[in-house]
């Protein structure tokens, strides 16, 4: 099974000298195609930092990060955004929607930015899949937190990325919506051989994980199966 992400001896330090904080400490980890990995740990453990380094949003202090065989830790600011765009779909906890665009337009723009040949109607199809078929022309200001989260999820999937990185994707969702989202992400991993990495505190969704990785103080323990 192909590794979508390969991390070796990864460290991330914020600050310098006596105020330096080591958020990640010698992490090595592989993320494989076709699997859903859950990242668990207390607040401040390094989960979101790891997710951000995986996706090339943050640069590591030291160590190696390969995405689909491409070493991204030293890529320049010209090439790195293209590698991110081609390989990774981000689901942010803060939604990051464009307030002047409708729900449908927020997803369509993600397709346009990738410049790929995507079937017509893909944005509408994804929004219907997350239960927002009746909100296509609504603006973010008129959506609930849970609805905004589902738009963000549809947008992350719009360009068919081989890797999906999600930060608390079910935190703002009720049980029914959370199940819809997790079914969708899990099926993408298993049926379409995507790699899905989810940071979560939501005990309701842990059974979707093929692997659970626990992080404490920037270090991790890889458990073979979900609880």
Residue 54 lies in a domain: yes
Res. 227: pLDDT tops 60: no
Six-digit token string for 140: 């973010």
Structurally, the chain folds into a number of domains equal to: 1
Contact status, residue 194 vs residue 188, Cβ threshold 8 Å: yes
Residue 141 covered by a domain: yes
pTM above 0.75, yes or no: yes
Band of residue 94 on the pLDDT scale cut at 50, 70, 90: confident
What pLDDT sits at residue 224? 47
Residue 1 lies in a domain: no
Residue 19 is assigned to a structural domain of this protein: no
Range of the domain at 109: 34-58+77-223
Does 22 fall in a domain?
Answer: no
pLDDT in tens, 21-76: 999 999 999 999 999 999 998 888 899 999 999 999 999 999 999 999 999 988 88
User: What CATH code is carried by the domain that includes residue 154?
Assistant: 3.40.50.300
Q: Is residue 125 part of a domain?
A: yes
Q: Classify residue 20 as exposed, middle or buried by CB count within 10 Å of its CB (0-12, 13-18, 19+).
A: exposed
pLDDT in tens, 121-179: 888 998 998 889 999 999 999 998 888 888 988 988 888 889 999 999 888 788 888 88
Q: Note whether residue 21 is domain-resident.
A: no
Q: How far apart (Å, rounded) are the C-alpha atoms in residues 140 and 102? A: 7
C-alpha distance from residue 199 to each of 40, 107, 118 (Å) = 6, 22, 28
Q: Is residue 10 part of a domain?
A: no
């Amino acid at each position: 099974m192909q590794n979508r992400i390969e991390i070796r001896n990864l460290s991330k330090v914020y600050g310098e000298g006596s105020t330096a904080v080591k958020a990640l400490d010698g992490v090595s980890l592989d993320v494989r195609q076709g699997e859903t990995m859950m990242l668990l740990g207390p607040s401040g453990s390094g989960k979101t930092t790891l997710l951000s380094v995986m996706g090339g949003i943050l640069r590591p202090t030291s160590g190696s990060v390969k995405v689909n065989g491409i070493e991204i830790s030293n890529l320049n600011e010209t090439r790195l955004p293209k590698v991110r765009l081609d390989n990774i779909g981000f689901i942010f906890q803060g939604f990051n929607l464009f307030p002047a665009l409708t729900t449908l337009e927020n997803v369509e723009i993600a397709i346009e930015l990738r410049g790929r040949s995507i079937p017509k109607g893909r944005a509408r199809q994804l929004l219907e899949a997350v239960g927002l078929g009746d909100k296509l022309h609504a603006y973010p200001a008129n959506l609930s937190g849970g609805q905004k989260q589902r738009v963000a999820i549809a947008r992350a999937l719009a360009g068919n990325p081989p890797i999906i990185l999600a930060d608390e994707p079910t935190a703002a969702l009720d049980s029914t919506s959370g199940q819809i989202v997790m079914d969708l992400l899990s099926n993408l991993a298993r049926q379409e051989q995507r790699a899905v990495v989810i940071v979560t505190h939501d005990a309701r969704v842990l059974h979707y994980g093929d692997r659970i990785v626990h992080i404490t103080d920037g270090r991790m323990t890889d458990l073979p199966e979900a609880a």
